[in-house]
Amino acid sequence: MAKKMTLEESFDKLDEVIQELQGGELTLEEAFKKYEEGMKLIKNCNDSIERVEKKLEVIEQEGK
């Protein structure tokens, strides 16, 4: 992943990876590569969500 994907792009790509894995037509090596790709996408999603949560916390604290 050269450029940073948006959360939506990551979810879309993750959905594609899951469908490919569930398709059952990948070799073991291909499936492992897709699994690795999926794990990276999940990390990207988690990182994006954490950033948003931190921003919301700051906004919430400023509003008090």
CA distance linking residue 63 with residue 2, whole number of Å: 37
Please report, for the chain, the start and end positions of each structural domain, with discontinuous segments joined by +. 7-62
Read off the pTM.
0.79
Question: Exposure of 4 by Cβ count < 10 A (0-12 exposed, 13-18 middle, 19+ buried)?
Answer: exposed
- Whether 1 has a pLDDT exceeding 90, the answer reads no
Per this entry, what is the length of the chain?
A: 64
- d(CA 46, CA 43) in angstroms, rounded, equals 5
pLDDT digits (tens, 9 = 90+) for 5-62: 899 999 999 999 999 999 999 999 999 999 999 999 999 999 999 999 999 999 988 8
What is the C-alpha R_g of the chain? Answer: 16
How many other C-beta atoms are found inside a 10 Å radius of the C-beta of residue 60?
Answer: 9
Does the pLDDT value for residue 2 go beyond 70?
no
